[in-house]
Structure 1
Amino acid sequence: MRTVIRRTAVAVTAASLALLVTACGSDKPDAKKEAPAGDKGAQSSAPAAKALSTAELEKLLVEQADVPDYTVKADAKAKPVAAAGSAKADKAACQPFADAIGGTIATPAGQAVRMAVLTPKDSGKKQSPEEKALAGLNALKSPATRVLLGSYEGDGASEALNTVKNSGAECMSGFTVTQDGETTKITAATPMTLAAGEEATSWSFTMDMGGGDEAKFNLGLMRQGNTLASFYTFSLGGSVEELPIKVIDAQEKKLA
């Protein structure tokens, strides 16, 4: 994967993904969760609550028991999420996308992150050494979702979500993102449909991998109160077509 995309994986390494071959779980794919008429966008009229700290957000993140079809990992060695503006889009209108892919949109008061990796269908089975080795390679291709919670003062969570939601028109034909001197070319940004939380938006991105190859990854954002949940899903082995609905549903319940 290109540097700017690779860095957003936070703690997803070959070693951590390979642990999936011994995990228990199902391979049932997530189904798309569609709203009756587009993304959810109703804003709450209730007074904004006090922003949560990182420690408070950690307690609200999805855990293993919440999504049994996934292996949920909180890696103490994970690097901090990139600050807003760390990855630069070539089009100013697309900067919110670059920030959301990197992790941080605007300036949250607190942030907490976790990884949820879809458990391969052959996990839990008795395997020969050769089968285990193959399963380890297959585990690297499992869709991995970075779940990131950010808490904002005032209307900051809604404003952050809407900067991404409203960036689409100028960016659907593609844009580039540069981080640490390396540039990643996004050839298309396509809206997806997500109904979650008090308001939500979601996008699929097509990335130029070079040599004529492309890969897809996606991003879902959900606001509940003044907390913004971000779901960035990718695969080290190819494209991801569907949103991680089971993860999104579980996180929504914990924030409700």
Structure 2
Amino acid sequence: MKRSSGVRIAATVAVSALSLALVTGCSDSGSGDAKDSTNSASSSSPSAPAAKPLTTAELEKLLLTQGEVEGYKVTSGDDTLPKSKSEVKTDKAECDPLAWSTGGLAPGDTDANASNSVAEDKASTATAQPEDAADLFDVNLTFVGLSSYEGDGAAKAMKAVSDGVTACSGGYSLAAGDDDGKVTKVASEKGSGLGDESLAFVETVDMGGEGTATFHTEVVRKGNTIATFYAVNIAALSTGGAADIPAAVVEAQVAKLK
């Protein structure tokens, strides 16, 4: 598997479309100080509330839009994100929620799902032209997914992701479209601690004979709605670096959830 295919598998999206999205504007700083990888707000419990689940149309209205996070460019993500779970397959059912979370898909059992991508708009802050083409790809692109659930579905989805981090710690095989790859390691890490419940994990991906790459994902529950965040930086892959999930993006998106 070539490096471009590794990127595509890790992001569960087509690298050509991802490249186009990156060229239009992208990137950011780290996620800053964080709390434990699995957190519950002191005033709430993991049990999902009785609120009516949101529809896909309602979730789309809750996604971040252009201008809501200063210095960031928001795009629909339609060309870079998988359209359904059938496009993303693993060799272990326990690992499915992890793979879905990285593709902006619902990590749990629901048809209510919406997604887009958010990246720093370098064009708005640039003071000089990039020195070479590689600089155009030195940007972090964050895939954001929203999903809503009935009853305790959101809490169950969070547990499925948490259980998956443990069950899949030794890695799993992943196929997206015509490409396949290998996640060699999964581990929990510190996340934002936002919402009623949150967790974060890091995956190490085999880049097909060209070393490994590291990718970060965060999943946050607020009520019966779940937000997933996954970051990619193509330029960082060549040096073994990783893209951090921007704290500003997570904070702004979670603040919009009901």
Q: Same fold (TM over 0.5)?
A: yes
Q: Which structure 2 residue ranges, 5 or more long, are not aligned?
A: none
* Partner-residue secondary structure (3-state), 2:58: helix
Q: 2:247 aligns with which of 220, 245, 248?
A: 245
Alpha carbons of structure 1 residues 18 and 180: separation in structure 2 relative to 1, 3 Å: closer
How far apart, in 1, do the equivalents of 2:28 and 2:63 lie?
Answer: 22
- Partner of residue 96, structure 2: 95
Describe the superposition over 1:12-40 as per-residue Cα deviations: whole angstroms up to 9, x where unpaired: 5333322228xxxx9654314224xx521
- Partner of residue 13, structure 2: 8
Alpha carbons of structure 1 residues 46 and 166: separation in structure 2 relative to 1, 3 Å: closer
> What RMSD over aligned residues (CA atoms) do the two structures have, in Å?
2.9
Describe the superposition over 1:200-219 as per-residue Cα deviations: whole angstroms up to 9, x where unpaired: 11111111112241111111
Q: Which structure 1 residue ranges, 5 or more long, are not aligned?
A: none
Deviation at 1:94, TM superposition (A): 2.0
Aligned-pair identity in percent equals: 30
Whether the aligned pair in 1 keeps the contact of 2:142 and 2:229 (CA below 8 Å) is: yes
Alpha carbons of structure 1 residues 212 and 175: separation in structure 2 relative to 1, 3 Å: same
User: Quick check: 1:178 aligned with 2:175?
Assistant: yes
Instruction: Tell me the TM-score normalised to structure 1 length.
Output: 0.82
Q: 1:72 aligns with which of 67, 74, 91?
A: 74
- Partner of residue 190, structure 1: 187
Count of residue correspondences? 244
* Partner-residue secondary structure (3-state), 1:206: strand
The 5-angstrom pairing of residues 59-208 of structure 1 reads 59-74=61-76, 77-78=78-79, 81-84=82-85, 86-102=87-103, 103-120=105-122, 123-127=124-128, 131-132=129-130, 134=132, 137-194=134-191, 195-208=193-206
- Partner of residue 55, structure 1: 57
Deviation at 1:45, TM superposition (A): 5.8
* Partner-residue secondary structure (3-state), 1:185: strand
User: Quick check: 1:39 aligned with 2:38?
Assistant: yes
Whether the aligned pair in 2 keeps the contact of 1:69 and 1:119 (CA below 8 Å) is: yes
Alpha carbons of structure 1 residues 47 and 64: separation in structure 2 relative to 1, 3 Å: same
Deviation at 1:46, TM superposition (A): 7.2
Alpha carbons of structure 1 residues 167 and 46: separation in structure 2 relative to 1, 3 Å: closer
Describe the superposition over 1:180-202 as per-residue Cα deviations: whole angstroms up to 9, x where unpaired: 35321111112111201000111
* Partner-residue secondary structure (3-state), 1:167: helix
The residue identity in structure 2 corresponding to 1:40 is N
Deviation at 1:177, TM superposition (A): 1.1
How far apart, in 2, do the equivalents of 1:45 and 1:181 lie?
Answer: 39
Deviation at 1:108, TM superposition (A): 2.2
